[in-house]
């Protein structure tokens, strides 16, 4: 009997690499219209893990091009020549600086912003714009989505997250404005559908977008009128609303076509109960998103800061956060190292995926700058200097990789971000306590 099913999402070879070439619609269109970019665009991703790492096992031996991977980073061996390992980089505003306890909240809040979060349980949440959003403001309009925020953990339901800081701080690393965190999508199925849509005919799509545009026009007018009658704080909330409406309007206006072939990825399970599977699916989605040039800026939180997840699959039954307060107990430190290495091996999955996608002469990985790290170094002592930071990819060959780069203590991590944004064609001039982009990466 013949098969005559409609186009449905088929089960895909799980985790064996996206082996097809998908058309890069927007980028191709941009190039076809005469834009002067002969090579593939640079994409930036920021992947964050909680609770710091066992630093003696993280840091590499050697210098410059003459070095070996540390035990924790050893799973990255296949990509060693595409890596840059950093030491000495610091987020000064993750430190207390007079605000007392709350290093986890501060670590997440300052990781991509370089700003000191205002210590509050609710009113007047304030930190700073994060590097991904600052870059998205400059290049976001070139792609279907200005940026993508993904995560694994939902927000906490209630109670306190860290010592008098609202949970908003420990649950987010991407901040659109100093007071608006960019909510992260944790459901792979919904992330996929949002990015690649469900199959609709061009006529249906056009009709739907027409309706949406009218609705958005109407509610924007509503909101603008309302705004005039409100006090300052309320106006800021309405501004969040209006900004979001405008962004969606822009996207709806630009959306004229769908991908001819829907990417294959089995997301039918929704949110997997297995952590590894969940993480890999999200990495798959980021790879697909970059491959199709649906966005060039992405952040991914592997867990909320202070996460107490256990990892039975690698024999770690204690909680991550509890263990990270090891107080120099060698057994606990060993458990943390296992967790550290496990996260790194999942990251390696991501890098392999990116490396397997060809873009002209280079791989997608080459064309990326993927930052992997944490806002805490020593999870026991809650230090914010000499952070664990790895950069993968060469930004389209613009930086020299396969190196260890050691910086003097307290060099702002934000300087690296400025350099990255410059390479990605979205040069941000300053962020947090940055003093200027790192200049010696090329």
Partner 1 sequence: MIGFKRRRAQYGNGSRRGTAWRFCAAIGIVIAIGAAKPVADLSATEQQQSGKPASDAEFKTHVLPAIEAVCLDCHGEDEPEAGLSLAGFRSADQVLASRKVWENVYKQLRIDGMPPEDYEPRLTDQQRQLLLDWLDRKLYQLDPALPDDPGRVTIHRLNRLEYNNTVRDLLGIDFRPADDFPSDDVGYGFNNIADVLSLPPLLLEKYVDASEQIAQAVILVEPMSGQKVRVGAEQLGGAGGQADVSDGFRVLTTAGAVFCQPEVKVAGRYIIRVEALADQAGPDPAKMEIRVAGKSVMVHDIQGQRKAATYEVQHALQAGRCRIEAAFVNDYYNPEAPDPAQRDRNLGVRYIELQGPLDAPEPETHRRIVFTKPSETKSLAEATREIFSRLMPRAFRRPVLAAELQRVADLAVSVAEQESSFERGIQVGLQAVLVSPHFLFRIETDERPDDPNAHHPLNDFELASRLSYFLWSSMPDERLFELAGQGVLHETEILDQQLARMLSDPKSDALAENFATQWLNVGNLVEVQPDAKRFPTFTPELRMDMIRETQLVARTIFREDRSLLDFLDADFTFVNRRLARHYGWDVPAGDGFQKVMLPPGQRRGVLTHASILTLTSNPDRTSIVKRGKWILDNVLGLELPEPPANIPTLEEGAKASGAKTLREQLKMHRDSPDCSSCHRTLDPLGFGLENFDAIGRWREESEGEPVDASGTMPGLGSFSGPVELVQVLKRNKDDFAELVTRKMLTYALGRGLEVADSRAVDKIATRLRANDYRFSALVGGIVHSQPFLNRRGEGGEKR
- Cβ proximity to partner 1, 37 vs 160, nearer residue: 160
Spatial separation of the C-alpha atoms in residues 136 and 144, rounded to whole Å = 12
The residues near 233 (Cβ < 8 Å, ≥ 6 apart) are none
- Cβ proximity to partner 1, 35 vs 190, nearer residue: 190
Report strand pairing: 148-151 vs 297-301. Answer: parallel
Identify the CA nearest to 78 among candidates 425, 392, 412, 418.
Answer: 392
Task: Report, in Å, the least distance between residue 255 CB and partner 1.
Answer: 12
Identify the CA nearest to 125 among candidates 184, 167, 70, 62.
Answer: 167
Spatial separation of the C-alpha atoms in residues 110 and 170, rounded to whole Å = 10
- Cβ proximity to partner 1, 8 vs 361, nearer residue: 8
- Cβ proximity to partner 1, 15 vs 318, nearer residue: 318
| 41 in Cβ contact with 379 (< 8 Å) | no
Identify the CA nearest to 92 among candidates 417, 388, 412, 371.
Answer: 412
**421's tokens:** 């944004």
Q: Which residues does residue 392 pair with via DSSP β-bridges, in sequence order? A: 83, 370
Task: Report, in Å, the least distance between residue 163 CB and partner 1.
Answer: 7
Task: Report, in Å, the least distance between residue 78 CB and partner 1.
Answer: 31
Q: Which residues does residue 181 pair with via DSSP β-bridges, in sequence order? A: 175
- Cβ proximity to partner 1, 19 vs 218, nearer residue: 218
- Cβ proximity to partner 1, 34 vs 231, nearer residue: 231
Task: Report, in Å, the least distance between residue 386 CB and partner 1.
Answer: 16
Give a three-class secondary structure readout of 183-242. Answer: CCECCHHHHHHHHHCCCCCHHHHHHHHHHHHHHHHHHHHHHHHHHCCCCHHHHHHHHHHH
Spatial separation of the C-alpha atoms in residues 105 and 91, rounded to whole Å = 13
| 424 in Cβ contact with 437 (< 8 Å) | no
**293's tokens:** 């040039």
Task: Report, in Å, the least distance between residue 2 CB and partner 1.
Answer: 5
Task: Report, in Å, the least distance between residue 189 CB and partner 1.
Answer: 9
Task: Report, in Å, the least distance between residue 325 CB and partner 1.
Answer: 8
Task: Report, in Å, the least distance between residue 274 CB and partner 1.
Answer: 12
- Cβ proximity to partner 1, 317 vs 442, nearer residue: 317
Ramachandran region, residue 100 (left: φ > 0; alpha: ψ -120 to 50; beta: rest):
left
Task: Report, in Å, the least distance between residue 380 CB and partner 1.
Answer: 8
Task: Report, in Å, the least distance between residue 180 CB and partner 1.
Answer: 5
What b-and-e string marks burial along 209-226, b requiring 16 or more CB atoms within 10 Å of the CB? beebeeebeeebeeeeee
- Cβ proximity to partner 1, 77 vs 322, nearer residue: 322
- Cβ proximity to partner 1, 169 vs 417, nearer residue: 169
**310's tokens:** 């256990």
- Cβ proximity to partner 1, 34 vs 98, nearer residue: 98
| 186 in Cβ contact with 154 (< 8 Å) | yes
**243's tokens:** 């900004």
Burial of 64: CB neighbours in 10 Å, binned 0-12, 13-18, 19+: exposed
């Amino acid at each position: 009997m013949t098969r005559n099913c409609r186009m449905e999402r088929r089960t895909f070879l799980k985790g064996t690499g996206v082996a097809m070439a998908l058309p890069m619609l927007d980028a191709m269109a941009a190039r076809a219209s005469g834009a002067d970019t002969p090579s593939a665009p640079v994409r930036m991703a920021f992947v964050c893990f909680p609770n710091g790492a066992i630093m003696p096992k993280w840091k590499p031996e050697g210098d410059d091009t003459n070095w070996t991977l540390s035990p924790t980073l050893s799973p990255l061996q296949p990509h060693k020549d595409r890596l840059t390992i950093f030491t000495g980089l610091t987020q000064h505003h993750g430190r207390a600086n007079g605000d007392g306890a709350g290093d986890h909240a501060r670590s997440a809040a300052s990781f991509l912003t370089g700003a000191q979060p205002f210590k509050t349980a609710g009113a007047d949440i304030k930190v700073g714009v994060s590097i991904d959003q600052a870059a998205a403001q400059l290049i976001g309009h070139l792609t279907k989505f200005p940026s993508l925020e993904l995560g694994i953990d939902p927000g906490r339901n209630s109670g306190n997250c860290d010592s008098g800081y609202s949970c908003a701080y420990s649950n987010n690393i991407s901040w659109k404005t100093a007071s608006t965190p960019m909510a992260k999508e944790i459901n792979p199925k919904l992330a996929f559908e949002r990015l690649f849509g469900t199959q609709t005919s061009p006529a249906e799509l056009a009709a739907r977008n027409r309706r949406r545009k009218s609705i958005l026009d109407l509610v924007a007018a509503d909101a603008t009128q309302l705004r005039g009658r409100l006090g300052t704080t309320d106006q800021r909330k309405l501004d969040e609303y209006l900004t979001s409406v405008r962004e969606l309007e822009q996207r709806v206006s630009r959306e004229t076509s769908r991908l001819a072939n829907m990417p294959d990825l089995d997301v039918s399970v929704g949110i997997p109960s297995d952590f590894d599977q969940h993480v890999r699916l999200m990495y798959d989605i980021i790879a697909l998103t970059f491959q199709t040039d649906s966005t060039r800026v992405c952040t991914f939180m592997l867990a909320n800061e202070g996460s107490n997840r256990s990892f039975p699959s690698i024999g770690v039954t204690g909680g991550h956060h509890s263990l990270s307060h090891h107080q120099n107990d060698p057994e606990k430190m060993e458990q943390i190292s296992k967790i550290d290495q496990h996260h790194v091996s999942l990251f390696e999955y991501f890098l392999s995926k990116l490396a397997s996608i060809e873009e002209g002469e280079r791989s997608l990985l080459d064309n990326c700058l993927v930052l992997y790290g944490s806002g805490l170094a020593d999870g026991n002592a809650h230090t914010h200097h000499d952070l664990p930071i790895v950069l993968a990819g060469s930004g389209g060959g613009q930086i020299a990789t396969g190196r260890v780069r050691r910086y003097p203590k307290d060099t702002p991590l934000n300087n690296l971000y400025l350099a990255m944004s410059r390479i990605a064609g979205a040069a941000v001039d300053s962020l947090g306590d940055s003093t200027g982009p790192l200049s010696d990466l090329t």
